[in-house]
Amino acid sequence: DKGGYKHFMSKEIAEQPRVLTEVIGYYLSDDATRINLPENGFDFKTIDRLTMVACGTAFYACLTAKYWFEQIAGMPVEVDIASEFRYREPPITERTAALFVSQSGETADTLAALRYCEGKADSILSVVNVPTSSIARESNLALPIMAGPEIGVASTKAFTCQLTVLYLMALKAAHDKGRLSDTELADRLSELRSLPSAVNAALALDKSLAHAGLKLSEAQDVLFLGRGLMYPLALEGALKLKEISYIHAEAYASGELKHGPIALIDKSMPVVVKAPRDALFEKTVSNMQEVMARDGKVILITDAAGAAEAGDEAWITIVMPTAPAALTPILYAIPAQLLAYHTAVAKGTDVDQPRNLAKSVTVE
């Protein structure tokens, strides 16, 4: 049931404030100051290393989580695509936890990667949407994302719920290891609880993103740029766009622009730049100027402070609500989804069932 929406994808995008509230509520103690895990819980104190493995959008959630685990918990993290990981025979050192992220919990490569880690890793954790799935059943601890059924082939609400659970795990790891005090943890959790209302405000930008999507639907190729936490999100934005609009899209870390992709820039190349006004903003603005100096058309997705600083040179500027820096990947997923959605709608493609794709990839 599409509940009055034109597509499952738009329904699932709109559900995010509710499902995010639910998943945050599920993991928080009654007084909202501590994180509770299901079953017997898990303690990161004896874990020195995290290996995260997934495919597609779930892989980009892992890439984002790497920044969080490194910065907040000070933990070395390795992130890999399941189809590469499983055949590489990577050594798993002691005190390593292996964490698998999968919406369906049935992705063949991710499951094979999990089985490879059995008996090698200290523990097997998973972040899944389907609690009865193979990946959930074969883990020592399965962490549900509580997104509810996701029908659209393009993952939307599962991605933001995966990010939320991974962020909570990074906070828990930092707290277990004594890098976050009780008060710091409580403050971070209170910030997180206000995220769903910021997501709601981002959803209200639908009209501007529909306008941007209409323009983007005329492009042959689109480049996505991001730095720091916005880099994995640039990858996710490009994946979403190619999946449902069939427009060729690529993502690069902004700093890589000069190392090749800048050669592609001309007046027919839209460049989507996601950049909240954070510590890395000035560097991104200078990348943006390099693009504009070569007639590239920039779609800048930023907050009010960023928009004021960037001036009005961008082709299109989308002004997002503000959020604490660590939470921007979850918030900025919304315009990535809406932009892809509206571009696909403008092109008239089958948004929920894009060609050649299956919701769950249970064969190699």
In this chain, which of 206, 243, 278, 352 binds ligand M6R, going by CB under 6 A? 243
If the CB atoms of residues 193 and 347 are measured against ligand M6R, the closer one turns out to be 347
Range in contact with ligand M6R (rule: CB under 6 A) among 149-157, 193-201, 262-270, 303-311: 149-157
Give the phi and the psi of residue 64 in degrees, each rounded to 5.
-65, -45
Does 359 participate in catalysis according to the annotation?
yes
Least distance in angstroms from the C-beta of 214 to ligand M6R: 22
Residue 280 φ/ψ, nearest 5 degrees: -100, 0
Q: Which part of the chain contacts ligand M6R (CB under 6 A), choosing from 44-52, 141-149, 151-159, 344-352? A: 151-159
Closer residue to ligand M6R, CB minimum distance, 322 or 360 = 360
DSSP classification of residue 28? B
Burial of 305 (0-12, 13-18, 19+ CB in 10 A): middle
Query: How far is residue 310's CA from residue 47's CA, in Å, rounded to a whole number?
Result: 42
Residues 153-212 that bind ligand M6R (CB under 6 A): 153-155
Of 10, 96, 104, 126, the one binding ligand M6R by CB under 6 A: 104
Pull the structure tokens for residue 311.
């001036």
Residue written as token pair 């930092």: 174
Nearer to ligand M6R, 124 or 269 (CB): 124
Answer for the pair 294, 265: CB distance below 8 angstroms, yes or no. Answer: yes
Q: Distance between CA 257 and CA 273 in Å, rounded?
A: 12
Question: Is 25 in contact with 36 (CB distance < 8 Å)?
Answer: no
Instruction: Supply the minimum distance, in Å, between the C-beta of residue 56 and ligand M6R.
Output: 2
Angle CA(350)–CA(60)–CA(128) in degrees, nearest 5? 85
Q: How far apart are CA 171 and CA 276, in angstroms?
A: 22
Residue 309, amino acid: E
Task: Please tell me which residue in 120, 283, 347, 359 is annotated as part of the active site.
Answer: 359
Binding flag, residue 317, ligand M6R (CB under 6 A): no
Q: How far apart are CA 346 and CA 356, in angstroms?
A: 20
- The smaller minimum CB distance to ligand M6R, of residues 153 and 300, is found at 153
Q: How far is the CB of 114 from ligand M6R (least distance, A)?
A: 11
Which of 83, 103, 245, 337 touches ligand M6R (CB under 6 A)? Answer: 103
Among 9, 310, 339, 361, binds ligand M6R (CB under 6 A): 361
Q: Toward ligand M6R, which CB reaches closer, 5 or 315?
A: 5
Distance from first CA to last CA of the chain, Å, rounded? 31
Of 273 and 361, CB closest to ligand M6R: 361
Are 248 and 285 within 8 A, CB to CB? no
Residue 239 CB, nearest approach to ligand M6R (Å): 6
Amino acid letter for position 41:
G
User: In whole angstroms, how close is the CB of 296 to ligand M6R at the nearest point?
Assistant: 26
Using Cβ positions, the residue closest to ligand M6R within the complex turns out to be 56
Phi, psi angle pair for 246, to nearest 5°: 60, 20
Of 47-76, binders to ligand M6R (CB under 6 A) are 55-58
* Least distance to ligand M6R, CB of residue 265, Å: 27
Using CB under 6 A, count the residues that bind ligand M6R: 15
CA-to-CA distance for 191 and 195, rounded, in angstroms? 7
Q: Which is nearer to ligand M6R, 206 or 236 (CB)?
A: 236
Contact status, residue 114 vs residue 133, Cβ threshold 8 Å: no
Catalytic residues: 359
Interface contacts to ligand M6R, rule CB under 6 A: 55-58, 102-104, 107, 110, 153-155, 243, 360-361
